[in-house]
Chain A
Amino acid sequence: DAKTTQPNSMESNEEEPVHLPCNHSTISGTDYIHWYRQLPSQGPEYVIHGLTSNVNNRMASLAIAEDRKSSTLILHRATLRDAAVYYCILVTSGTYKYIFGTGTRLKVLA
């Protein structure tokens, strides 16, 4: 399974954009990039996923590098409720198994 590398922690000020990076240099052509986040004392929740093109939804945007070896999750205006651990996961097409790393712990400062 292809692996991802994320910074252990990041900080952001409230109401400012946040860019959470993820490196996945061994990604294969059939790997989807998924992002989940885990708020304190909760299970992970889906944020966004993509394959090749950039993606937007109500929660965030996903920017995927042209060579697909890295991606960035963008929170447009961080709120205190966005403080969580963010996981970048590669999921091979046709499979279901999520291999979580240790993620990035995002701290949002008021």
Chain B
Amino acid sequence: GAGVSQTPSNKVTEKGKYVELRCDPISGHTALYWYRQSLGQGPEFLIYFQGTGAADDSGLPNDRFFAVRPEGSVSTLKIQRTERGDSAVYLCASSFFSGSTHEQFFGPGTRLTVL
């Protein structure tokens, strides 16, 4: 079946611009996660959704970052006034339930480059 998909696969923007990154989770998965991965590092947790609500946004670096999941399926990560330091691969994952024994399925990521 279809896995987690993310669009666009690559995004190049200029400093100060607004960007939106989209994640389509696996159908039926209630939990959705966003991570950010810088070069040479492991993924870093950003935010977790259970259904439509953000259950944990403790990983968002500052208020320029925001994410929504209005219908409990597709999610959009929004970054305002982008900075060069925001350049990274943004990964989305989903799972049937959240929890320590439930596998997270990751998408291929969106590579964001801020010039």
Contacts and interface: CB of A to CB of B under 8 A. Distances in A.
Interface residues of B, number: 27
A58 interface: no
Contact of B99 (A85, A94, A102, A103): A94
A93 B44 contact: no
B26 interface: no
B62 interface: no
B42 to A, nearest CB: 3
B100 A32 contact: yes
B101 A102 contact: no
A101 B42 contact: yes
A93 B109 contact: no
Nearest to B40: A102
B113 interface: no
Q: How large is the interface on A (under 10, 10 to 19, 20 to 34, 35 or more residues)?
A: 20 to 34
Contacts of A85: 42
Interface string B80-101: 0000000000010101001111
Contact of A102 (B33, B42, B109): B42
Nearest to A50: B101
A95 B99 contact: yes
Contacts of B40: 102
A11 interface: no
A91 B100 contact: yes
Interface of A: 30-32, 41-46, 49, 85, 87, 91-103
Interface of B: 4, 31, 33, 35, 40-45, 48, 56, 91, 93, 95, 98-109
